[in-house]
Amino acid sequence: MSATTTLILLGGSGDLSSRLLMPALGQLLTRQRDRHVQLIGVGSDDLSPDEWTERVRASFDAADASGESVETVLKETRYEKRDVTDAEELTAILDMAEADPAIYFALPPSVTMKACQALETITPLPQGTVLALEKPFGTDQPSADALNEQLLKLVPEEQVHRVDHFLGHSTVLNLLGLRFANRVFEPLWSRDHIEKVEIVYDEQLGLEGRAGYYDNAGALIDMIQSHLLQVLSVFAMEPPATTDAVDLRDAKAAVLRATHVFDDDVRAYSHRARYTAGSVAGRDFPSYVDEEGVDPSRNTETLAQVTFEVRNWRWAGVPFTLRSGKALGSRRREIQVTFLPAPHVPHGFSGSSDRDVMTIALAPDEMSLEVNVNGPGDPWRLDRASLEVTFGEGELKAYGEVIESILDGDPSLSVRGDSAAQMWRIVAPVIEAWRSGEVPLEEYETGSAGPGDWKV
């Protein structure tokens, strides 16, 4: 059996813990049966030991978790009703840890900051303490800088995990493998051959009862700021020497530092809209403004689209359009790369001479390359053909990879502090322009493709 690791879920009684983190732990322990984890849940609810164990069991059941390690956790796990903003109460929790703890802040962001301030007074923290934080990481660049500063008073940067469950190990490695393990792709990966890149995460789902969070965030912050800019940074990075955390995170940070709204023109290159009533995938949705818990005066967008540019030698002038929205007619989760046209198609050919398009689907990870090929029968005629491949699926689901990385102290998947602040810096002009009404809030019907005149 491997050494014990201690996972402390601050906010163990909350939604994130029961719906995502504990099922992920169950999945991990089912796959890795010799892993031994001490699980401590902390919350402000009064839960009896049995009630807590039942919650953990329900989360494990949701992930079909089984095996000896799972049973051991169920037998040994404990819940503490504590105020995590109080240093003495936090000390009492840390004293229960059998090993250097991984502390997961599954808390409202304001409580997380207070808990970090309280932790500062507990010195020293156990040397190998790992801190895991959820999105949103701050609310703008100054608050992200302040949170970074606070965290670095507690542990070194490598021990801080700013969780991005969206970009799992397999997706990052699939992207890097495709580009850097194939001679045919990497030489084309620049402004010399690529006309535009679109990174799209369109969902058919609506609010799903999460107005409390979403109505304050909106599609721009929920997806583009938090996740899609990370996808852009992996797509556009310079070749890293290794896949370790230092090389990967350096390469991603360099891309983010060079990323700006295209032409610095927020009015021309950003769009926002919210859905009106309709149906999608057999479900009826009311208008967003009529959803429970929504404050229409907040003008929260449920669909956001912004075009950025990466101002460096490789990418200058190439539009990177990032888009994400809810209640849309089709589910689309992909990076679409449109190549420049062939410089000269020999005279004599007829038919398609469209640009080559590579589509890299995210979750499940697949790739297709649309090219022009000589059609059957008439060899002078060019037709479109699609070459398709499915990448092997990762063993663990997204949050399983997150929990594994945290327990193993491997920060390669997490967002480094400077990148987290850069992601706010990049979207700041968009947030400002939207707040001041410079960019109109449009509408689209649930189940549609979004406003008709947006170019993606």
Q: Looking at 24, 25, 106, 406, which residue binds ligand NDP (CB under 6 A)?
A: 106
What are the tokens at 456?
Answer: 């993606």
* 230 in contact with ligand NDP (CB under 6 A): no
Strands of 340-455, DSSP E: 350-351, 357-361, 366-374, 381-390, 441-445
Residue 417 lies near ligand NDP (rule: CB under 6 A) = no
Pick from 35, 39, 40, 43 the residue near ligand NDP by CB under 6 A: 43
- Is 227 assigned a catalytic role? yes
Based on the shown chain and the rule CB under 6 A, indicate whether residue 30 belongs to the binding site for ligand NDP.
no
Shortest reach from residue 106's CB to ligand NDP, in Å: 5
- The region of 107-115, 141-149, 361-369, 407-415 touching ligand NDP under the rule CB under 6 A is 107-115
Residue 208 binding ligand NDP, by CB under 6 A: no
312 binds ligand NDP (CB under 6 A): no
Q: Taking the alpha carbons of 175, 176, 182, 184 in that order, is the dihedral positive or negative?
A: positive
Nearest-approach distance from CB 130 to ligand NDP, in angstroms: 17
With the C-alpha atoms ordered 396, 401, 403, 408, is the resulting torsion angle positive or negative? positive
The C-alpha atoms of residue 390 and residue 368 are separated, in whole angstroms, by 9
Tell me 11's DSSP state. Answer: T
- The answer to the question of residue 21 lying near ligand NDP (CB under 6 A) is no
Report CA-CA distances (Å) from 427 to 228, 266, 434, 436, 441. 12, 10, 11, 14, 17
Site for ligand NDP, residues 260 to 289, rule: CB under 6 A: none
Q: How far is the CB of 151 from ligand NDP (least distance, A)?
A: 15
- Give the contacts of 211 (CB within 8 A, at least 6 positions apart): 291, 292, 293, 294
Q: Are 180 and 186 in contact (CB under 8 A)?
A: yes
Query: Residue number with the shortest CB distance to ligand NDP?
Result: 14
Task: Please give the Cα distance from 311 to 260 (Å, whole number).
Answer: 7
Maximum Cα interatomic distance, the chain, rounded to a whole number of Å:
81
Q: In this chain, which stretch among 52-60, 82-90, 139-147, 180-188 interacts with ligand NDP, using CB under 6 A? A: 82-90
Is 369 near ligand NDP (CB under 6 A)?
no
Our finding on whether 13 is near ligand NDP (CB under 6 A) is yes
Q: Which stretch binds ligand NDP (CB under 6 A): 26-34, 79-87, 285-293, 307-315?
A: 79-87
Instruction: Lay out the site mask for ligand NDP across 125-154 (x = CB under 6 A, - = otherwise).
Output: ---------xx-------------------
Which span sits near ligand NDP by CB under 6 A: 7-15, 184-192, 255-263, 357-365?
7-15
Say how far apart CA 218 and CA 223 lie, in whole Å: 8
Binding part of the chain for ligand NDP, among 15-23, 230-238, 255-263, 368-376 by CB under 6 A, reads: 15-23
Interface pick for ligand NDP out of 4, 31, 44, 57 (rule CB under 6 A)? 44
- State in angstroms the smallest separation of the CB of 262 from ligand NDP: 29
How is the chain split among helix, strand and coil, in percent rounded to 5? 40, 25, 35
**Does the footprint of ligand NDP cover residue 415 (CB under 6 A)?**
no
Which H helix or E strand runs over 60? helix 49-62
Q: Which is nearer to ligand NDP, 11 or 411 (CB)?
A: 11
Closest-CA residue to 16 (of 107, 78, 115, 102): 107
If one asks whether residue 205 binds ligand NDP (CB under 6 A), the answer comes out as: no
**Annotated catalytic residue, options 161, 227, 260, 347:** 227
Instruction: Kindly state whether residue 16 participates in binding ligand NDP, applying the rule CB under 6 A.
Output: yes
* Sign of torsion over alpha carbons 46, 52, 54, 59: positive
Smallest distance, Å, CB 336 to ligand NDP?
A: 26
Coil, helix or strand for 155? coil
Rounded Cα distance, 429 and 439, in Å: 11
Q: How far is the CB of 105 from ligand NDP (least distance, A)?
A: 7
Q: In angstroms, rounded to a whole number, what is the distance separating the alpha carbons of residues 58 and 92?
A: 27
The answer, yes or no, to whether the previous bond of 429 is cis (omega within 30 of 0) is no
Of 227 and 274, which CB lies nearer to ligand NDP in the complex structure? 227
Q: How many beta carbons lie within 10 A of that of residue 74, not counting itself?
A: 16
Q: Could you say which of 31, 96, 99, 108 contacts ligand NDP (CB under 6 A)? A: 108
Interacting residues of 181 by C-beta distance below 8 A, sequence separation 6+: none
Q: What are the helix (H) ranges across 245-334?
A: 245-257, 266-269
**For residues 135 and 252, which CB has a smaller minimum distance to ligand NDP in the complex?**
135
Where along the sequence are the contacts to ligand NDP (CB under 6 A)? Answer: 11, 13-16, 20, 42-45, 82-85, 106-109, 111, 134-135, 213
The residues assigned a catalytic role are: 227
